[in-house]
């Protein structure tokens, strides 16, 4: 991959990669660090990377780095992670409430289920691309997505009964 192609990758995928990482770890600074580390690692190996596969490789690098940081943080502290949520003033109350319900439901999923759901439903990756990023087979990806969607459906359904 040439430097011009690398710059295209940065321009096209930096925001999506950041959103994906931030959705999983809920820490802006760590997400920024992971994204920057991922682009740095991609640059270090840019001469041996095929431009057509750079996006998948980039997300795979970021995903693996994110998992490493999550594991490290779990070893360092056994306390729950504190999440900061900043409400956008343009949303009305119902939108904020719905977003919080969805975020709470996503937090109930295990790490791999949350990752595959975010990659598929939020970022629009194919099952094959998700498999490459997460190092799972395509059938495993489908199973994780199915189970995660079932869990989300059950969780949100129960929450709707409480609200009524």
Contact 63, 55 (CB under 8 A): no
pLDDT at 100: 77
Based on the domain organization, do 56 and 120 belong to the same domain? no
Based on the domain organization, do 78 and 95 belong to the same domain? no
Based on the domain organization, do 1 and 74 belong to the same domain? yes
Encode the chain (164 residues) as per-residue pLDDT tens digits.
Answer: 888 888 898 999 889 889 888 888 888 898 999 999 999 998 988 888 888 888 888 888 988 888 888 777 776 654 444 444 444 444 455 666 777 778 888 888 888 898 898 888 888 888 988 898 888 999 999 999 999 989 888 888 765 554 54
Cα–Cα nearest to 113, from 24, 13, 16, 17: 24
Based on the domain organization, do 76 and 7 belong to the same domain? yes
Other Cβ atoms within 10 Å of 101 Cβ, number: 15
Based on the domain organization, do 11 and 51 belong to the same domain? yes
Based on the domain organization, do 164 and 94 belong to the same domain? yes
pLDDT at 83: 40
pLDDT at 35: 92
> Domain ends where: 82, 116, 135?
82
Handedness of CA 85, 90, 96, 99 (dihedral sign): negative
Based on the domain organization, do 7 and 60 belong to the same domain? yes
CATH number for the domain including 18? Answer: 1.10.1740
Domain that holds residue 3: 1-82
Based on the domain organization, do 130 and 152 belong to the same domain? yes
Handedness of CA 161, 153, 21, 112 (dihedral sign): positive
For residues 13-50, b (16+ Cβ closer than 10 Å) or e, as one string? beebbbebbbbbbbbeebbeebbebbbebbeeebeebe
Backbone angles phi, psi at 136, to 5 degrees: -115, 160
Cα–Cα nearest to 1, from 57, 39, 59, 45: 45
Based on the domain organization, do 155 and 105 belong to the same domain? yes
CATH number for the domain including 154? Answer: 1.10.10.10
Based on the domain organization, do 78 and 114 belong to the same domain? no
> Domain ends where: 66, 82, 98?
82
Based on the domain organization, do 36 and 73 belong to the same domain? yes
Q: How many domains are there within the chain?
A: 2
> Domain ends where: 82, 107, 132?
82
């Amino acid at each position: 991959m040439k430097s011009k192609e690398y710059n295209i990758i940065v321009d096209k995928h930096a925001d999506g990669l950041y959103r994906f990482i931030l959705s999983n770890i809920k820490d802006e600074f760590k997400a920024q660090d992971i994204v920057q580390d991922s682009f740095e690692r991609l640059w270090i190996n840019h001469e041996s990377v095929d431009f057509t596969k750079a996006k998948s490789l980039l997300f795979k690098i970021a995903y693996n780095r994110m998992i490493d940081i999550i594991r490290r943080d779990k070893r360092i502290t056994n306390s729950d992670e504190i999440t900061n949520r900043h409400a956008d003033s343009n949303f009305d109350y119902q939108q904020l409430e719905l977003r919080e319900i969805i975020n709470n439901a996503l937090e109930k999923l295990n790490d791999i289920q949350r990752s595959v759901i975010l990659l598929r439903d939020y970022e629009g990756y194919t099952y094959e691309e998700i498999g490459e990023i997460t190092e799972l087979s395509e059938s495993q990806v489908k199973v994780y997505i199915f189970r995660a969607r079932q869990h989300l459906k059950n969780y949100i359904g129960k929450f709707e009964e409480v609200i009524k």
